[in-house]
Amino acid sequence: MRYEAPTTAKEAVRLMAGKAGMARVLAGGTDLLVQIRTDRIAPDLIVDIKRIAGMRSIMTKSGGFRIGAAVSGAELGEHKALRRAWPGVVEAANLIGSIQIQSRATMGGNLCNASPAADSVPALVAAGATAVIVGPRGRRSLPVEDVAVAPGRTSLKKGEIVEAIVLPKRAPRSGDAYLRFIPRSEMDIAVVGAGVSLTLDRNGVCTAARVALGAVAERVILVPDAAKALIGSTVDQAALERLAAAASAACRPIDDKRGTKKFRIKVAGVLARRAARTALARAQGK
């Protein structure tokens, strides 16, 4: 195995594109190094992106935020403006692992590890985030929900790297939230995760919403029917019940040691409803 720590995105792409064998991007390493050490993968080349300035910073951009792919969870949590604008995204990223893991783990890595249970991804999908991808043919943007295609597999092509995640400008009276179910209070893999983002008009009527679910399909899914249940309502009890039903209906989970299909389908509705309540309270400035 060879280790490289380029200082520009261009050089990182050249390295990733040039190697004949398996090349892997190292961001926080909290998934990658575990996979290497447990012999699940044996890369020929590791490209550490943490020396690339643009991948290590959070910048405001057109009223939104551009978060470098190698920004750690701890850094996200310490960024006050980001936390104020997108509390759901930050709380989702900060749910991942211990303090030690937060010092290293990144949303770029969480996205590209492509786990269906990735905690930050449903929050990012609900937020309408896009991934900026840099590759041999230049840059392109992709909705975050289109990055993972199956467990451990992304739509990225040879030589492509997620450089940053962009969160859009927040409309007034907006709020987001992420909730997950785990069988203990901390540090576990989501059995179900639910992210909700919504915007209200001056009369408290929901004008825009996005709902995303984790750990209930082969990848994190956007659930347009659940969002439709909220839009045009005041996010009242009836709308929340319709949202929960739509969320449950969208699930196509597996049975595993962490939860049954039936349990996941039920809990997806419950969590989506609760996350919507928190997003609503935040949109109302409560």
Contact between 254 and other proteins per CB under 8 A: no
Among 46, 165, 267, 279, binds other proteins (CB under 8 A): 46
Q: How far is the CB of 178 from other proteins (least distance, A)?
A: 18
Tokens of 33: 């190094």
Contact set for other proteins, span 177-206 (CB under 8 A): 186-187
Whose Cβ is closer to other proteins: residue 112's or residue 209's? 112
Q: How far is the CB of 198 from other proteins (least distance, A)?
A: 29
Contact between 26 and other proteins per CB under 8 A: yes
Contact between 133 and other proteins per CB under 8 A: no
Segment interacting with other proteins, rule: CB under 8 A, options 33-41, 84-92, 222-230, 259-267: 33-41
Whose Cβ is closer to other proteins: residue 60's or residue 98's? 98
Segment interacting with other proteins, rule: CB under 8 A, options 12-20, 101-109, 169-177, 257-265: 101-109
Contact between 141 and other proteins per CB under 8 A: no
Contact between 33 and other proteins per CB under 8 A: yes
Q: How far is the CB of 120 from other proteins (least distance, A)?
A: 17
Whose Cβ is closer to other proteins: residue 117's or residue 265's? 117
Dist CA 192 CA 179 (whole Å): 8
Contact between 30 and other proteins per CB under 8 A: yes
What string of H, E and C letters represents the secondary structure of the chain?
CEEECCCCHHHHHHHHHHCCCCEEEECCCCCHHHHHHCCCCCCCEEEECCCCHHHCCEEEECCEEEEECCCEHHHHHCCHHHHHHCHHHHHHHHCCCCHHHHCCCEHHHHHHHCCCCCCHHHHHHHHCCEEEEEECCEEEEEEHHHCEEECCEECCCCCCEEEEEEECCCCCCEEEEEEEECCCCCCCCCCEEEEEEEEECCCCCEEEEEEEEECCCCCCEECHHHHHHHCCCCCCHHHHHHHHHHHHHHCCCCCECCECHHHHHHHHHHHHHHHHHHHHHHHCCC
Contact between 57 and other proteins per CB under 8 A: no
Contact between 101 and other proteins per CB under 8 A: yes
Among 24, 104, 170, 273, binds other proteins (CB under 8 A): 104
Q: Please state the φ and ψ torsions of residue 166, each to the nearest 5 degrees.
A: -110, 125
Segment interacting with other proteins, rule: CB under 8 A, options 97-105, 211-219, 227-235, 243-251: 97-105
Q: How far is the CB of 194 from other proteins (least distance, A)?
A: 23
Does residue 107 contact residue 165 with C-beta atoms inside 8 Å? Answer: yes
Applying CB under 8 A, the residues found at the interface with other proteins are 1-3, 5, 26, 29-30, 33-34, 36-38, 46, 48, 50, 72, 74, 97-101, 103-104, 186-187
